[in-house]
Amino acid sequence: MRPSPPLEDEQLAEACKALGHPARLAIFRHLMAEDRCVCGRIVEIVPLAQSTVSQHLKVLREAGLVSGEVEGPRTCYCIDKAFLARFRRTLDRLADPAVITEPA
Amino acid sequence: MRPSPPLEDEQLAEACKALGHPARLAIFRHLMAEDRCVCGRIVEIVPLAQSTVSQHLKVLREAGLVSGEVEGPRTCYCIDKAFLARFRRTLDRLADPAVITEPA
DNA sequence: CTCCTTTATCGTTGATCGACGATAAGCGAT
DNA sequence: ATCGCTTATCGTCGATCAACGATAAAGGAG
C-alpha cells in the first residue's frame, strides 16, 4: 500500500507546465478554494472566453491535476487530490534532496 | 526578518513554466545534485546543442530558480536556494490551504 | 598580440500555444 | 420532438517556443 508514488519526470514537467500559465494557475487556485466547481462558474471568474477556459481545463485535466465529471448538462471540476499529493511529494524530493540544509 | 515571502502569482507561474520542460527539469535536477556546475558540463549531460542549453539556462535564470556567475572564461550555475525556498513555500500554500486534510 | 576555449546572442525555421468565434453534442424541460 | 442551456471541439490566426548553426564577446595561454 503505497498511495503516493512519485511522478515520472515527464508527468512532473507536464504538471508544472500546466500550472505555468497565469490563467490556469488562477483556475487551479479557485478550484482549491471552491473544491467543486462547474465550468460556467470559472468562466465568470477569469476574463476569458468560454472556449478558452474549456481549453485550459483540458490542459489541467490532461496533466492530471484536475478531474471533471459530467453532471447532467454541465461538467463539474475538482482538484485530483491523490495526484496533487503525488505532485507535491515529487516536488519535495526534487527540491530537497537532503542537501540544501545550509541556508547561509 | 521574513526571509521567505511567498511569490507573486506571475513569478510562480513563470517558475512553474520554467520547470515545465523536460530538458530544463533535467538541468535543474542536475544542478541540485552537483550544486555548482559549469555550462559545458551541462552540455555534456543533456543531448542538446550548446546554444540550446544556454537558452534553457537563461530561462531558468530569468525565472529566478538558478543564478550564474562568470568565472573567468566560463559561467558557473547553481540553484538559487533562497528563491527555491520561496518557491516551495508558495507551492505549499497553493496546494495545501488546510483543506486537503482528507486523503480518502 | 594572437590563438584557443567557453559561453551568450543572433537569425532562422518548424512546432506548439493561446485566444477567439462558430459549431456540434448532450441533457432537461416544455 | 423541439427548444434552450451548458460545455467540448473545430478551425483559424498571431505569438511564442524550441531547436539549430553561425557568430560575437571575453578571458587565459602561448
Residue A18 touches partner B, C-beta closer than 8 Å: yes
Residues by CB within 7 Å of nucleic chain D, which ones? A 38-40, 43, 50-51, 54-55, 57-58, 68, 73-75; B 21, 23, 47-52, 55-56, 59, 70, 72-73
Residue B94 touches partner A, C-beta closer than 8 Å: yes
Domains of chain A (ranges; CATH) run 9-91 (1.10.10.10)
pLDDT band at residue B98 using 50, 70 and 90 as cut-offs:
low
Mean of the per-residue pLDDT values of chain A: 91
ipTM: 0.90
Q: What is the pLDDT of residue B96?
A: 84
The answer to whether A32 contacts B84, with C-beta atoms less than 8 Å apart, is no
Indicate the SS3 state at residue A67.
strand
pLDDT at A100 over 70: no
pLDDT at B102 over 90: no
What average pLDDT score do residues B15-20 get? 98
DSSP 8-state class, residue A5: P
Helices (H) and strands (E) in chain A, counts: 5, 3
Whether residue A27 contacts residue A53, with contact meaning beta carbons closer than 8 Å, is answered with yes
Can you say whether the dihedral through the CA atoms of B70, B76, B79, B81 is positive or negative? Answer: negative
Q: What is the pLDDT of residues A63-95, one digit of tens each?
A: 999 999 999 889 999 999 999 999 999 999 999
CB within 7 A of strand C (chain A, 65-84): 70, 72-73
Question: CA of A19 vs C1' of C19, distance in Å?
Answer: 18
Phi, psi torsion values for B74, nearest 5 degrees: -120, 170
From A81-95, B1-15, B88-102, the region with the lowest mean pLDDT: B88-102
What average pLDDT score do residues B47-62 get? 98
The answer to whether B17 contacts A18, with C-beta atoms less than 8 Å apart, is no
